[in-house]
Structure 1
Amino acid sequence: MSHMWTFQRVGGLDQVVFKNANDIINLPDLDPKLWVALSCPTIGLDFDERTLALLDSDKDGRIRIPDILDAISWTRDKIISFDSILKTSETLPLSQIDTSTPSGNKLSVTAHSILASLNKSNVDYLSQDDIQQCIKTNADKLYNGDLIFPASSELSPEMQTFIQTAIQTTGAKKDMSGQDGIDLNIATTFVDNLKTWLQWQTKISNTQTPFGENSAEIWKLIQQLKPKIDDYFLRIELAQYAPQAQTALNVDEKYIVPTQNGLLSDEALAELPLSKIDTTNALDLVNGLNPLWKAKISRFKTLVASSLYNPDQLTPQEWQDIQQSLQAYATLISAKPEMAQLTVEIEPSASIEDMSNSVITKLANDDLLNEFKQMVEQDNKTPISASDVLVLEKLVLFHKHLYRLLVNFVSFADFFTPKTRAAFQLGNLYIDGRCATLCVAVDNIAKHSTMANYSELCLLYCECTRHGQKQLIAAAMTAGQGDLLIEGRNGVFIDNEGNDWDANVVKIITKPISIQQAILAPYQRIGRCITEQINKWASSKDADVEKSSEQALQNPANKFDIGKSVGIFAAIGLAVGAIGTALASIFQAIFSLTWWQFPLFFVGIFLIISGPSVILAWLKLRRRTLGPLLEASGWAINGQVKINLMLGGLLTSKAELPTNAKRNLHDPMKQRHQKLIVIFWLAILLGVGATAGWLWHEGYLDHYIKQHNQEQTQNKTDTTTNIDK
């Protein structure tokens, strides 16, 4: 609590500023409620994937606050100062490794060994590329320090068999080269399982039975035949008890009728009795057997012949005696030991039960296990140990990427800095003369749009394809207009690596985009309304003309009625006159204004038409927020993270000519319709002349002329009176 934090109000919430190393070191003391994010996914980010994998220690696909704090604590124990982390350097200076501890000193030795193996002994820093080259160089070596050994041809045949069998029955791990191998834990567990199995098999073989080495086979046959033989003897007892039921106890004819393909079903035969049922108190082991069980009965007869009074028959008592003689054997069989199981990358594909006792005895020898232990000890003494290389890789990656993670998780400094991009911004979408930079990953469009709708952002959901690959993105349009943003439009998505993807708009969440759109929207709606009404009127008139023409052709007796036409022309004249009078009144009122009232008049008209639309759009644009958009992509955000008008203008840029460009306004492709213009003005003049003629014919002009003459006479009289006075 004694640390002095610095906060900056950005995006509608207070965000911590990382000014020095102490801000990072004291981050565990910062209230989690003051972090911008609480968790984020490990996929769909413009961030180093290997670093995210190392941060996600529990492999649940999420990065949370404890994961970041653990990374800070782990890194703090390995380096001298956190000041170099603020620089987000691509390399780790060897002088930054804390050699005051045995583990740190070992890392320093390993780092120098890596550089020496790469012929960089004169270099005093380590990069991620150096680590990758070291891993690649040592991967094919048998002793590479990873303590995992595949069945390499460099090993003896006996050791190769040992490793291969352990992989098949116990499991495997991937070594540095990506091959399947075993470590000391797998080898020890494998040998222990072999010894346990061998001890159990020894107890079984030492158990005395009348059948000697045939006991195991006889026991398996008994397990298979017991239900059928018991069923047979039960049916015999029922036949002896109720002879009239003997027919019902045998096979019904309908069950042995061939199927459509002329064959009997094995499933049907398996359900039938073992042999013919009569009152004979013995099972004939030769004749009358169910064909499906005959082979097993024959083998059973051969193995237990010494225990039968009649080698061709089995009595109920002999059946019970045979099972009783194997009781001790059965007890050991049911006590089969459980083999130890390990958590491995490659699951076992076979079982020890499938191995012969001779092979088990050979592999369970301690000599092979001791030889493997010596291999592990030698591998552990390798100057460049794989475990130390992985620790160095983690340190280099955290040193390089930890600060960027903090300014994209604890705060959103990268998002609110115009020249940088946040970790969740995957690239730029170019469409409709604009470039949208706020493009986030989407897994499921339907699920994502439900939550993202609350962001009040106009979102374009695009399906992006490139060389057989596909990804889904949501792009926020925060500037310009949305008239031509429709589903099905194509654009180009450029990811942060410079790869171009074909983008197709598959869904749109329509929201206000800009104030400019709000100003023009009412006029566009009025224009569309007028166009629709004209289209409807023209369509109806066209239909009326077509209908009238058909009626005239069908009934030639109908003649042109001049009376009706005069009425129609009179009505049209009255309408035109009314419109003219209204326009005259409006223009008279306008021109009666003084010069300074003209701007106020047009401002008032603008406020009446566009004012409500602009106010509503402004209120909605103020509610634009980043939180729901990221929440839909799997983030957990503290607060709203507002997107104001200025930031919205930066997130979507419109097409603009360069500052030093010249523009030629002469368009050679623009058609000049001179004849049409002349015809248009002639039509206007003819219309005005026809209207004036009709008004004169009806006497309207005489009235206006008399009224005008009276006004002129009155004006002259007034003027004369004034002069006399």
Structure 2
Amino acid sequence: MSHMWTFQRVGGLDQVVFKNADDIINLPNLDPKLWVALSCPTTGLDFDERTLALLDSDKDGRIRIPDILDAISWTQQRIVSFKSILASSQTLPISQIDTSCEQGKKLSVTAHSILASLGKSQSDYLTQEDVQQSIKINAGKLYNGDLIFPPSAELSSEMQTFIQTAINTTGAKKDMSGQDGIDLDIAKTFVENLKTWQKWQTDISHTQTPFGENQAEIWKLVQTLKPKIDDYFLRVALAQYAPQAQGALNVDEKYIVPTENGLLSDEALAELPLSKIDTVSALDLVNGLNPLWKAKISRFKTLVASELANPDQLTQQEWLNIQNSLEAYTSLITAKPEMAQADVTTKPTSSLEDIPNQLINSLASSDLLTAFEQMVEQDNKTPISASDVLVLEKLVLFHKHLYRLLVNFASFADFFSLEKRAAFQLGKLYIDGRCATLCVAVDNIAKHSNMANYSELCLLYCECTRHDQKQLIAAAMTAGQGDLLIEGRNGVFIDNNGNDWDANVVKMITKPISIQQAIWAPYQRIGRLITEQINKWATSKDADIEKSSAQVLQSPENKFDIGKSVGIFAAIGLAIGAIGTALATLFQAIFSLSWWQFPLVFIGLFLIISGPSVILAWLKLRRRTLGPLLEASGWAINGQVKINFLLGKLLTSKAELPKNAKRNLRDPLKSQNKKSMMILLCAIVFGIGITAGWLWYQGDFQRYFEQPQAQSTQNGQQEENNHYR
């Protein structure tokens, strides 16, 4: 509580600033509510994968606050000072290893041994590459300090058999080279299971039955034949009870028919009764047997002949006596002992039942376990111990990456920095003359978009392919316009390793992108509406003209009606007159204004048309947040983490010419005649408009339209009077 923290208000959140080593050491005392993130996934990040694997000690695929605090505590116990961690150095000075304890001294010795084995005896620091190279070199050695031995050819054939049998029946662990092997715990468990199995088999062999050494084979035959023999005696009892049902209890010939290939089905025959059913109680062990069971019955007959009154027949009582004589043996067989389990990463593929008894007795009674213990002891004395190398690897990785993890978890300093990128930013998407740098990983687009929609960001979901690889990303467009951003467009995604991927937009969440887009959006909508209406009107008129032309061609009697034509021309004239009057009124109102009122008119029109769109876009752009976007990717975020206008422009850059570039506005592929004609047409329209406005202002234009109208009214009244006369 006495530590003085420093916070910076960024993105609408108070974010902790790591200024010195004390800030990291005291991080366990910081309220978790003041951390920007509470948890994040171990995948889909631009971060060292090995470091994430070491942080995820419980292997649940997530990094949480306790995992980071444990990493800080673990590192603090093995390093002299946290000052070097703030620099995210690529190297770990050996002098930074705390040698005040035995473990630290051992790590220091291991570090020097690694450097010596790599020919860097004069070096006083370790890198991640040094440790990984040492692991790779030692992985090929039998005695490499990992205390795990695969069935290597360097070992004796007996030891190879011992290790391989243990792997098959007990399980294995991966050694430094990635091979399956066993450690001392697996070896002891294996030998313990061998002895347990051996004792069980001895107890079984000492069980007294009338069948002597054949009891095991007889017991297996009894278990196999029991369903069929019991079924036979049941059918005989039913035949004796209801003789009329004897035919139904036997095999109907319709069941003994060839299959499509002309052969009898073994599966179908095996399901049929064991022998012909009649009222005779004894089972004939020689004649009338189901062919598929005859061999087993014959072997059974040979083994139990001493228990049968008639060696060719088996009565129901004799069958029961045989089973009763095997009860003790059966009880012992079914009481199979539980085998001990060892801590393994590779599960066993077989059981001790699959191993010959001779091999079991040999492995259990030999001194192979003692020899294996001596191998482990020798491996433990290796100068470069695998366990110590792994500890050094962890220390080097935490020394290198821990600070970057903190500024991407406890705070988002890297995201709000202008020079760095956050751990969740996977690369850059180039599309529509823009570059989007806020690109995050996506597992399921439908699920991701439901949550990401609340971020108020315009998102492009892209399927990126490179050779035979695929990945899904969501890219936020935070600058420019979105007119040409549609599903199906193609772009290029450049990941942080510089690899380019073909990107195809498969889904889009449409949101306001910029104020510029909001300004022109109403005019674009009006333009599209006018275009659509003109297209509809032109299409309908074209259809009407085609229909009228067809009617005229089909009816040659129709003659040209001059009266109707005059009426049409008069209507057209009146329409033109109305338009002219409207234009004259408009120009009269405009020219009646003072010069300083003209800008106010245009500003007012702009506010009326674009104002609502700009206000709505401004409100939505102010609500843009990073939180829901990361939440959809598996993060747990405290607060919203707002994206303001300045950050939005930085996250998406538009195409701009270089500062020293020159622009030639003359387009050689553009027709100059069309350009001249357009200029001339605009000038004529503008001149007519100015003239009409000036005439109206002087009063002549109004009189020009009022006189014909009055004359027309007078002529109409005179014609009406003549009609009444």
Aligned equivalent of 1:721? none
Cα distance in 1 for partners of 2:683, 2:366 equals 112
- Deviation for aligned residue 1:599: 2.0
- Deviation for aligned residue 1:443: 0.6
Residue 201 to residue 702, structure 1, CA distance change in 2 (3 Å): closer
AA aligned opposite 2:635: W
Aligned equivalent of 1:44? 44
- Deviation for aligned residue 1:243: 4.2
Residues 351-430 of structure 1 correspond to what in structure 2 (within 5 A)?
351-430=351-430
Cα distance in 2 for partners of 1:497, 1:331 equals 66
- State whether residues 577 and 705 of structure 2, in contact with CA within 8 Å, keep that contact through their aligned partners in structure 1: no
Residue 372 to residue 706, structure 1, CA distance change in 2 (3 Å): closer
Q: TM-score scaled by structure 2?
A: 0.92
Cα distance in 2 for partners of 1:674, 1:252 equals 96
Aligned equivalent of 2:651? 651
Residue 534 to residue 261, structure 1, CA distance change in 2 (3 Å): same
Residues 94-113 of structure 1 correspond to what in structure 2 (within 5 A)?
94-113=94-113
AA aligned opposite 1:147: L
Aligned equivalent of 2:160? 160
Any idea what the Cα deviations from partners look like across 1:314-344, whole Å, max 9, x if unmatched? 2233222222222222221111111122342
Residues 264-279 of structure 1 correspond to what in structure 2 (within 5 A)?
264-279=264-279
Cα distance in 2 for partners of 1:48, 1:78 equals 21
Aligned equivalent of 2:636? 636
Residue 679 to residue 418, structure 1, CA distance change in 2 (3 Å): closer
Cα distance in 2 for partners of 1:556, 1:675 equals 46
Residue 78 to residue 246, structure 1, CA distance change in 2 (3 Å): same
Any idea what the Cα deviations from partners look like across 1:38-86, whole Å, max 9, x if unmatched? 1111100000000001111111111111111111111111101111111
Any idea what the Cα deviations from partners look like across 1:646-666, whole Å, max 9, x if unmatched? 111110000011111111111
Any idea what the Cα deviations from partners look like across 1:442-461, whole Å, max 9, x if unmatched? 11111111111111000001
1:173 aligns with 2:208: no
Cα distance in 2 for partners of 1:253, 1:544 equals 81
Residues 24-43 of structure 1 correspond to what in structure 2 (within 5 A)?
24-43=24-43
Aligned equivalent of 1:696? none
1:221 aligns with 2:216: no
Residues 479-518 of structure 1 correspond to what in structure 2 (within 5 A)?
479-518=479-518
Aligned equivalent of 1:83? 83
Aligned equivalent of 1:545? 545
Cα distance in 2 for partners of 1:432, 1:218 equals 81
Aligned equivalent of 1:717? none
Cα distance in 2 for partners of 1:167, 1:24 equals 45
Residue 660 to residue 681, structure 1, CA distance change in 2 (3 Å): closer
- Deviation for aligned residue 1:439: 0.4
AA aligned opposite 1:8: Q
- Deviation for aligned residue 1:641: 0.5
SS at match of 1:364: helix
SS at match of 1:149: coil
- Deviation for aligned residue 1:551: 2.0
Residues 222-371 of structure 1 correspond to what in structure 2 (within 5 A)?
222-259=222-259, 261-371=261-371
AA aligned opposite 2:2: S
1:4 aligns with 2:15: no
Cα distance in 2 for partners of 1:76, 1:542 equals 84
- Deviation for aligned residue 1:263: 4.1
- 442-451 or 317-326, which deviates more: 317-326
- Deviation for aligned residue 1:269: 3.0
1:614 aligns with 2:614: yes
- State whether residues 186 and 343 of structure 2, in contact with CA within 8 Å, keep that contact through their aligned partners in structure 1: no
Residues 470-481 of structure 1 correspond to what in structure 2 (within 5 A)?
470-481=470-481
Cα distance in 2 for partners of 1:205, 1:155 equals 35
Residue 80 to residue 555, structure 1, CA distance change in 2 (3 Å): same
Cα distance in 1 for partners of 2:357, 2:370 equals 21
Cα distance in 2 for partners of 1:510, 1:84 equals 46
Cα distance in 1 for partners of 2:97, 2:706 equals 108
Aligned equivalent of 2:718? none
Any idea what the Cα deviations from partners look like across 1:168-227, whole Å, max 9, x if unmatched? 111111111111111111111111111111111111112232222211000000111122
SS at match of 2:33: helix
Q: TM-score scaled by structure 1?
A: 0.92
Cα distance in 1 for partners of 2:599, 2:678 equals 34
SS at match of 1:387: helix
Cα distance in 2 for partners of 1:374, 1:678 equals 98
AA aligned opposite 1:459: L
The share of aligned pairs that are identical, in percent, is 82
Residue 216 to residue 706, structure 1, CA distance change in 2 (3 Å): closer
Aligned equivalent of 1:19? 19
SS at match of 2:81: coil
Any idea what the Cα deviations from partners look like across 1:8-48, whole Å, max 9, x if unmatched? 11111111111111111111111111111111111000000
Cα distance in 2 for partners of 1:565, 1:676 equals 38
Aligned equivalent of 2:192? 192
Residue 161 to residue 588, structure 1, CA distance change in 2 (3 Å): same
Residue 237 to residue 675, structure 1, CA distance change in 2 (3 Å): closer
Cα distance in 2 for partners of 1:12, 1:576 equals 60
AA aligned opposite 2:473: I
- Deviation for aligned residue 1:603: 1.3
- 565-574 or 134-143, which deviates more: 565-574
Aligned equivalent of 2:695? none
Residue 537 to residue 331, structure 1, CA distance change in 2 (3 Å): closer
Aligned equivalent of 2:452? 452
Residues 683-694 of structure 1 correspond to what in structure 2 (within 5 A)?
none
Residue 706 to residue 466, structure 1, CA distance change in 2 (3 Å): closer
Cα distance in 2 for partners of 1:313, 1:701 equals 132
Q: Which runs of 4+ in 1 moved over 6 A?
A: 682-685
- Deviation for aligned residue 1:2: 1.3
- Deviation for aligned residue 1:389: 0.5
SS at match of 1:137: helix
AA aligned opposite 2:495: D
Structure 2 gaps of 5+ residues are 693-699, 708-725
Residue 196 to residue 679, structure 1, CA distance change in 2 (3 Å): closer
Aligned equivalent of 2:697? none
- Deviation for aligned residue 1:4: 1.2
SS at match of 1:100: coil
Aligned residue pairs, count? 699
Aligned equivalent of 2:521? 521
SS at match of 2:58: coil
Cα distance in 1 for partners of 2:76, 2:178 equals 31
Aligned equivalent of 2:578? 578
Residue 311 to residue 705, structure 1, CA distance change in 2 (3 Å): closer
- Deviation for aligned residue 1:261: 4.7
- Deviation for aligned residue 1:706: 10
RMSD of equivalent CA atoms: 2.4
Aligned equivalent of 1:695? none
Cα distance in 2 for partners of 1:701, 1:237 equals 124
SS at match of 1:472: strand
Cα distance in 1 for partners of 2:268, 2:574 equals 98
SS at match of 1:84: helix
- Deviation for aligned residue 1:90: 0.6
Aligned equivalent of 1:134? 134
Cα distance in 1 for partners of 2:365, 2:140 equals 29
SS at match of 2:126: strand
Residue 566 to residue 175, structure 1, CA distance change in 2 (3 Å): same
AA aligned opposite 1:607: L
Any idea what the Cα deviations from partners look like across 1:77-114, whole Å, max 9, x if unmatched? 11011111111001111111111111111111101100
Cα distance in 1 for partners of 2:435, 2:260 equals 69
Any idea what the Cα deviations from partners look like across 1:514-548, whole Å, max 9, x if unmatched? 00000011111111122222222222222222222
Any idea what the Cα deviations from partners look like across 1:555-609, whole Å, max 9, x if unmatched? 2232333332332222222222222222222223223322322222221111111
Cα distance in 1 for partners of 2:62, 2:683 equals 74
SS at match of 1:58: coil
